[in-house]
Structures are given as structure tokens and as C-alpha cells.
Chains A and B, each alone.
Chain A
């Protein structure tokens, strides 16, 4: 996806140059009503991390989010698909409601493929309208 920076403020530019750039292994695919997130990795864990990063990149400009705090997220499911869904939903929920946390980067700590459980940790901060650009989210 084209990265065009619309009116990025000086503060935002400063933050972007302060940290190493985000490792992106995903793309957005066409869908008439919404968007498809296509992500990959050298391991399934990495693919899980990347698809969640893709979701947050759609919502704001992650390059401008600072890794100031951490948050741990766990999820489980009945099968692999519901596990992935519950995992992403858990991260999204913590963004939409208190603490409004947005992870710049996240890592899967453990992925149990037999019992469909996952544990992960993210580095980021609380979403702040004055600091982070609003991009898109379809309610």
C-alpha cells in the first residue's frame, strides 16, 4: 500500500525517525464493503503477529506510536480460525475500550496448536487523538 504522509507534524516526524521502522509482512486486498488483511511470516506465530499489525496499521499510523508501555493478551478458541479471530478481537477490544492501547509491535509468546491457546505481548501506548492520526475503522 502506498505510504503517503498527509500533513505529518514535526512531532510525528520526530517520533518516526526515533525508532526502527515497523517490520511489515502484510498487504491489504480488495473487498467491496471492507478490507481483507493478508499477512505472512516464517512461522505461524509471525503470521499471527503480522495480521494483527496489519489491522492496527489500518486504524492509525503505527510509525508514530511509541513503545512506552506493554500489554499482555491471551486468547483461546475452538479451532484455528476462531483462535485467530479471538486473538485479534482481544487486541481490538483493548484499543476500543479502556485502556485504549495501541501496540506498535507485538510478539507471540506461545501458540498451542492442540488446545488452541495463544499468549502474546505488545509494546505501544495509549491512543491519543492529539498525537496519533485517525485513519480508518468501519463500525
Chain B
């Protein structure tokens, strides 16, 4: 009789060892579905979890399934919160998670949060609960002050990374940095760029001086330029540097001192900061330009000629974030010099001005798409575009993965033909078969959504504003985009029909945001009642829903899949549309 190979006879620790080479969540999830024993083994040895929507699952559920996790990443508010479309108090509180993990994961080492509300109380709890805590990344978070940071500094003996990127921190005192004990020498990355007021500079200097492993240092605007050289001399091993304000009275010794300090930084690969740039000081970084792969000049109000001089020296540049002061001419120079460029972001210097203040048009982007063969990620703010340009870009760069175009005036048509930009974006999705993220702008009809539904099979995230004509547009996207995970829509004439017809699709996605559209309260209720595994949340600040006509369109709608049921922390202007809520409302 043939003996059948039995997987369960494979020793557990061998399997565990094999699994340890598999880090990606997708693969780990696949492993856990093979059989019961693999599920068991895998869940005990999963060390890292990522929860893309903190309300999709409860902390208790996570801890129950994965008992020994060392690294947690959570995301809270919807993306449009970045643009003030999500009212304050909406939610995204991380405290319940930290509270649960304080007992569930005493060995937790890393916490990464994005768009969550973090209080000082939370930070204090982190500081005292996790003995081996190493990494804290707070990206676009809010709700805490420098007191909370002081608690982290004082108690986390082995802290490696403290990264506050773009968070809103209440600045109560610059002294929090002094709470790091002199024995703390483990710091690898420190990002305090978002802090408004001064930190104690002597504490910063001492910190930098005793951290031999420091690779990333991002200072805040308050750190003056004449202090930068000293810091650099203490940390010549830096790989990523964010300067403070890049301005000073013009004194030759400051410039030469700075240039000398930069020459000593042989490992420098990335730079950012550059607030209030005085162009005369830019030559100080020329010694490191050829080594730079990442350059963030998006706060540098410097005119095109100085930018061109700088950028043309960065021959190994892979990522550039810059203001539209670079203009078409600068982008042309960029295309000629930086053949390794992968990511370009051009931000508007005067986003609310009516007239263009710089000569930045679609030509700049077309140039870069022609000259930079590795260009795959674009965020571009400008004031005019054409279908021709989009088609050219699409043909030049079929390897495009992220394409976000923001034509500043809503519903701007093709400036040459005055037609909608449907065909242009259609070319993008047709030619760029691996496109994962797309943001639309300009005048767009239902047509563009037809193209997207037909071609954008790998598209995971789509952002739409002031576009479309009928529900058919939304229907094309929901029925055609197989890989869609996140859809965010504002000010589009999409209503009930497409949403209700594609209700099942919503369970395959992380979330859907619709604001200032035409989805009625009635449809929201229906969706909420019919789809128990979706949380259908209506955000409406106009008043209690029970006095609102059923056919009235809701202000904002946020739908996300969840196994945790309705959340408990909804403020007064957020309503869940499930069965129980519906009974109370009617």
C-alpha cells in the first residue's frame, strides 16, 4: 500500500523555520489557508501585522489569532482626511488598540500608525508597557503633545526609531528631547520635521553625538542653518538628512563651514527640509549631490535657474519632490540629467491663485516621461493639460504604476481641443497595464470610467473629483476594476443605482468614500441593512438624520468592510446604517 505523504508529519519547527522566510502578508495569508495545522503554526509565528483600516477588525480578534506579534501597523482615517474633508472627532483613536496590546503583546517592538488620533495617555501607555520597544512611526497623526514624546524618550531604553512625519503635535516644550537618558545610544532614525517650535538644541547635539548608528535625521524648521554644520560633523554617517530652515545672513564662513561639513557626509543619499532657502547657500550641498537618490525640495521657494543648477548635479536621483518653480525648463533639464528618476512630485507654489504664477505646463511632464525611462510614479499639479500629452505620456511610460494628475481648476477641459480628457486618461489605463494608483482631474464624462473599468485591471486605488455624468460612471469602475481596494469620490453625480447594484463588490474592497455626491439616505440604509459585513457610515453635520427626508442625499458616506461590526466611538455626526441603527432612526 502506498504511504501518502502527510504534511502533518513534517515537524512543526521545520515548517516554522520555512515560514520565517515568508514575510509578505499576502503569502502568509495564503500559507494559513493550506490546512488546519499550517494555519496553527503560521499564526503562532507571525510577527508582523498590517491592518489597513483600524475598524475592520478588533484588537481582541487580532491578538487572539496572532499571539506573538512584534510589529503592528495601523491606519485610521480615510485618505481625504488629509484635505479636511473628514470632520474633527470622526474617530481613528488608537488607544483601544494600545490598551489591548499592552497585555496581549508585552514583547511588542514596533508601532506604525497613519492618520490616527494618538493621545499623550496613549504614548505614556506605550512607554511603560513594552519593555523592548524600538520603533514608533506616527504618520499624519494628531492628538498628542510634546509631553507624550517626553514619556517615550524617558522610558524606551532601546528606542531605535522615532518618526513623527507630518503629524500635528501640540508644542508645549522643546525640552522633551532632554528626556532621552545619556545611556540611550541606540537611535537610528529621528524625524521631528513637523514640530513647530524649537527643541533644545544642546540636547539634540548630545543625542546626535552619542548615537553612532544614527542614519536618518530630519530636523524641524526652527533649527537654524548655522547650527547644521556642527550636527553634521557629529554624524558624518548620516544617510538621510532633513535640514531646518535653510537661510542665514550671508556670511562666507557659514557657507564654507557648511560645505566642509557636507563633504564629510559620504553616505548621504537623501535630503529634505529646505525651508526658507537662501539660494546662495545651495552650493554647500554640491559635494553630496552626485550621491543623492532622494531629494525633497517641496518647501524650497527657489526659482528655476537655481533649481536647475542643483538638480543637474544629482545624476543618480531616483526621487524628486519639488515646487512648480522648477517650470517646464527645469523639468527639461531634469529629463536630460537624471536618467534614473523613478518618482516625480511637483507641488503648486500658489495653489489658490487664479492666474498661473509660473511657466509649468503639461510639457514639463511630457519631457520627463520621454527622458526618464524608469519613471513610474507621478504626482503633478498644474493648470492645463491635453489629451495629446496624456497619450504621449502613456505611450512613453507603459511602466507607470502611480499616476496622479491634479489640474487645479475643477473640470478644466483639454486646453487645445476643449474636449473632456477622457481619451487621455483612457490611454493611461490602456497602456500602463500595471497601474496601481490613479487620480483623475479635469473635465471628464462617463467615458473615462468606461475606459478605467475596461483596462485598469491592476488598479488598487482610484481618486475622483468633479467628474462623470451618471451612475454609469461609478458602475463601470465597480464592475470592471478587479483589483480595486480603495475608491474615493467627491463632488460627482453618482447616486444610488450603481452603489446598490454593486453592493457585493464593496466587500472585496477596503473602503469607499463618497462626499458631495447624490447617494440618498434611503440607499445608505438599504445597503447597511443588506450587507452585514459592511459598515455603512453616514457623516452628516447638518443635523439628526431622523428629520431628514429619505430621498435626501447624504453629505458624506464612508463604507468599509469589517468583521468587527459597528464601531462604538462614532461622534454625533456619524451614523451607522445597520439594522439596529435603522430602527432607531425611523
| Co-assembled chains A and B | no
Contact surface of B with A, Cβ cutoff 8 Å:
none
